[in-house]
Structure 1
Amino acid sequence: MLVESMESKEIAGGVILRPLAAADAFALASAYTDNRAHLEPWEPVRPESFFTTEGQAERIDGLLRQRADGAVVPWVFEAADGRIVGAITLSGISRGPFCSSYLGYWVAADQQNKGLASSAVGQVCRIARDTMGLHRIEASTLTENTGSQRVLQKCAFEPIGLASNYLHINGRWRDCRLFQRVLHDHAPVP
């Protein structure tokens, strides 16, 4: 799975979807700092080090090691001015009879309602199907995150249930709506 060697692709409004790189630490720390209040209701409580270049460098190093092991594929959204304005990740990649993964993403506050999330989710689903051979992708949203639910439904994800106390977000256990998208019905590649 050579996802890191894939070409960058414009997803909407001049924003490029590209694989996360080690050199992104400063830009990603800036993006998380700029969007801290915007993302806080939807994310786990983050230590102060998360918002630093050093903290992001350490985090990126871990993600790139997991990518090399085939467990995670992280991308960023890069605006024309070089700013990172979002990210999307396939994690928990499983092969064999499950052949599935989890999807997570975020978009900067100043880039909302421009089609970035829908375009990126659609592109990542194509990569997961055509390049990675995954059968299924699962995503979850907090029950009140109707914007993200609309993105998933627009991208052919179907609701599959409600999970009580599913994720520890913003300091407490939260209920989530679960979604899945079945990408194909081929047998897994041995």
Structure 2
Amino acid sequence: MLADGYEIRALRRGDGAALAAAFRRNREHLAPWDPERPDEFYTDAGQEAEVGRNLMQAEQGRSYLWLLTYGDVVVGRIMLNNIVRGILQTGTVGYWIDHEHLGRGLATAAVEHVAREATRLGLHRLEAGTMPHNAASQAVLRRSGFTEYGTAERFLYLRGAWRDHVLFQRILHDDPPGNPVP
């Protein structure tokens, strides 16, 4: 359940400027968790190019992205990516919330949204990883029904070094693999 005034909607063409503004506003807030990004990433044109790439991946069924908005302002982003079909039927969840909108249950609502969409798409399980010191994100995942299942040493290359991640999963259902729900 989202707090009043907030909504989650699918990414669409033309969202680049609003995303660029959100990334610029949250550059310092996201720095500990994000890879180093070129200055172009924070421009309207750079984000519109990212929107195009993300929409193409959605058309291919490889990745989906939603925006958390408050009015016309982007205050968060939620991704379901690294989708693997076949006998695995899994995807990875990623998210962030604007530093001015923390503490309102938005991340938990966003993760729940992705879980519903992943179930609709026929995925069996979701995965997520956090750096060991990211207690807030770990709490979001636990509230959203994820369980910790291990640590991946030197998992992602962020900020000039390979970083360990605590791994979480959520089993969505035990039905056999099949076609996604339209």
TM-score range, shorter chain: over 0.9
**Stretches of 4+ aligned residues off by more than 4 angstroms:** none
Aligned pairs for 1:169-180 within 5 A = 169-180=158-169
Aligned pairs for 1:15-34 within 5 A = 15-34=6-25
| Alignment match, 1:167 | 156
Residues 1:99 and 2:89 are matched in the alignment: yes
| Alignment match, 2:30 | 39
| Alignment match, 1:184 | 173
| Alignment match, 2:118 | 128
| Alignment match, 1:155 | 144
Structure 2 counterpart of 1:61, one-letter code: G
Shift of 1:127: 1.6
Cα distance per residue 1:17-41 (max 9 Å; x no partner): 0001111000000000000000000
TM-score by length of 2: 0.96
Structure 2 counterpart of 1:14, one-letter code: G
Cα RMSD between the aligned structures? Answer: 1.0
Shift of 1:113: 0.7
CA contact (8 A) 1:93 1:100 kept: yes
Residues 1:66 and 2:63 are matched in the alignment: no
For residues 117 and 176 of structure 1, what CA distance do their matches in structure 2 show? 19
TM-score by length of 1: 0.92
For residues 12 and 141 of structure 1, what CA distance do their matches in structure 2 show? 25
CA contact (8 A) 2:82 2:92 kept: yes
Shift of 1:169: 1.7
| Alignment match, 2:44 | 53
For residues 88 and 60 of structure 2, what CA distance do their matches in structure 1 show? 17
CA contact (8 A) 2:93 2:114 kept: no
Task: Give percent identity, aligned residues only.
Answer: 40
The unaligned stretches of length 5 or more in structure 2 are: none
CA contact (8 A) 2:130 2:167 kept: yes
The unaligned stretches of length 5 or more in structure 1 are: 1-9
